[in-house]
């Protein structure tokens, strides 16, 4: 029992990331009808916003500390970050420590802008072109973005720690009545899950309860009719693209303490997120979220030693296997609407 709970918990953070990326993918597909292979790159850009913010906050200058001397008696030069000198060591230190959450706030406008530029500059010219062309051009864009990141940040993963409060793990098992050390879970993963839940809830509430969201949902159902009502749906769809980019971006920011950002993380997550979208059903928002968590949890179950010894290699292929079975037996996906891209 405790092993099962542990696996579900382990699946949650990966599932959260899948769900957040897949949500944007399926939103873009449902609204704009575009298959965006560059969506993983947005996740990656978010992660590197976190890296950049961490570096900026870490910028320091050398200062002579009057209270300290080296062993020769000369005054000692110490490094001090600008943030600390501006806000005092206490507040400044906290800000530096909390660079990842700070990066989330900074990432939102940046990602909205990136999304806006991407949609206006490139994607909009591909609305009427076949899906294959969309795949190809966004694939090209993904390569370009990935290489730019590699150019500026190098090929090695960059450590981006979580705030020190969230470092370490806690004993989840004890809380729910298991033996100590049965279920150990890192704090930050729980934070990530909570964060994902809030973002997902926010997006759904936004789409459900605002006029804007209602128009977008109507547009997803029947673009032409909404157009006939004299509503400028394109402008709203552009905003939706920005929103999807922002969701993927902050998902990337928050994921950095779990996975040190590297330039190919976008591509890695893209392939899996696409599988998630297909399993959930192209254009279905709840489908993307459900499939994201489902596949995340399935994957962590498959990595259990008991299962691996039963079916060797299952942990490597489980997601793809599920996708293949779903595509062949229920092409519209778990929660997809009938008739949407069922061939």
CA 84, 85, 87, 89 dihedral sign is: positive
Q: Where in 271-330 is the site for other proteins (CB under 8 A)? A: 271, 274-275, 278, 312-313, 315-317, 320-321, 323-324, 327-328
Residues ≥6 apart with Cβ < 8 Å to 1: 178
Q: Is 65 in the site for other proteins (CB under 8 A)?
A: no
Which of 93, 97, 331, 334 lies at the binding interface for other proteins (CB under 8 A)? Answer: 331
Residue 177 beta carbon to other proteins: minimum distance, rounded to whole angstroms: 36
**Is residue 230 at the binding interface for other proteins, with CB under 8 A as the rule?**
no
Query: Residue 4 CB, nearest distance to other proteins (Å)?
Result: 24
* Per CB under 8 A, 86 contacts other proteins: no
Query: DSSP letter string over 292-306?
Result: HHHHHHHHHHHTSHH
Could you tell me which of 295, 246, 320 has the C-alpha nearest to residue 21?
A: 246
CA–CA gap between residue 30 and residue 34 (Å, rounded): 8
Output the smallest distance, CB 137 to other proteins, in A.
4
- 56 binds other proteins per the rule CB under 8 A: no
- What's the rounded Cα separation, in Å, for the pair 19 and 273? 8
* Residue spans of beta strands (DSSP E) within the chain: 60-69, 75-81, 169-171, 184-186
117 belongs to the binding site for other proteins (CB under 8 A): no
Please identify which residue in 1, 59, 72, 132 interacts with other proteins, judged by CB under 8 A: 132
Residues 6+ apart with CB under 8 A from 203: 23, 243, 247, 285
Q: Least distance in Å: CB of 125 to other proteins?
A: 7
Closest to other proteins by CB, 122 vs 259, is 122
In the complex, least distance from residue 312 CB atom to other proteins, rounded to whole angstroms: 4
Phi-psi region of 159 (alpha: psi -120 to 50; beta: other; left: phi over 0): beta
Q: How far apart, in Å, are the Cα atoms of 28 and each of 57, 108, 181, 233, 312? A: 34, 18, 43, 13, 37
DSSP string, 132-181: HHHHHHHHHHHHHHHHHHHHHH-SS----PPPGGG-SEEEHHHHTT--TT
75 touches other proteins by CB under 8 A: no
28 binds other proteins (CB under 8 A): no
Which residue number, 109 or 121, has a Cβ lying nearer to other proteins?
A: 121
> Any contact of residue 151 with other proteins (CB under 8 A)?
yes
Taking the complex as a whole, how short is the minimal distance between the CB of residue 298 and other proteins, in angstroms? 14
Is 339 an interacting residue with respect to other proteins (CB under 8 A)? no
Residues found near other proteins in the complex (CB under 8 A): 35, 122, 125, 130-133, 135-137, 139-144, 146-148, 150-151, 267, 271, 274-275, 278, 312-313, 315-317, 320-321, 323-324, 327-328, 331, 341, 343
């Amino acid at each position: 029992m405790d092993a099962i709970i542990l696996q579900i918990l382990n699946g949650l953070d990966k599932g959260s990331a899948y769900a957040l990326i897949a949500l944007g993918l399926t939103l873009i597909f449902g609204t704009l009808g575009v298959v965006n292979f560059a969506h993983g790159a947005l996740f990656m850009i978010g992660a590197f916003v976190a890296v950049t913010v961490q570096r900026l906050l870490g910028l320091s200058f050398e200062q002579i500390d009057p209270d300290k001397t080296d062993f020769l008696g000369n005054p000692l030069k110490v490094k001090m970050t600008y943030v600390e000198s501006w806000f005092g060591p206490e507040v400044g230190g906290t800000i530096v420590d909390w660079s990842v959450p700070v990066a989330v706030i900074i990432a939102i406008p940046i990602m909205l802008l990136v999304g806006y530029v991407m949609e206006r500059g490139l994607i909009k010219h591909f609305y009427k072109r076949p899906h294959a062309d969309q795949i190809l051009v966004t694939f090209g864009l993904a390569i370009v973005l990935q290489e730019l990141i590699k150019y500026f940040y190098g090929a090695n993963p960059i450590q981006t720690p979580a705030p020190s409060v969230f470092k370490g793990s806690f004993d989840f098992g004890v809380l729910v009545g298991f033996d100590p050390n049965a279920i150990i879970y890192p704090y930050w993963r729980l934070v990530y899950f909570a964060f994902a839940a809030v973002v997902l809830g926010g997006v759904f509430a936004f789409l459900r309860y605002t006029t804007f969201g209602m128009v977008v949902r109507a547009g997803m159902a029947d673009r032409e009719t909404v157009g006939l009502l004299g509503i400028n749906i394109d402008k709203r769809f552009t905003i939706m693209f920005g929103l999807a980019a922002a969701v993927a971006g902050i998902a990337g920011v928050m994921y950095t303490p779990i996975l040190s950002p590297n330039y190919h993380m976008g591509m890695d997550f893209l392939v899996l997120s696409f599988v998630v979208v297909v399993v959930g059903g192209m254009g279905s928002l709840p489908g993307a979220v459900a499939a994201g968590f489902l596949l995340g949890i399935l994957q962590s179950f498959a990595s259990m030693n008991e299962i691996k010894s039963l079916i060797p290699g299952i942990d490597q292929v489980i997601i793809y296997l599920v996708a293949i079975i779903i595509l062949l037996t229920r092409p519209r996906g778990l929660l997809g609407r009938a008739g949407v891209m069922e061939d």
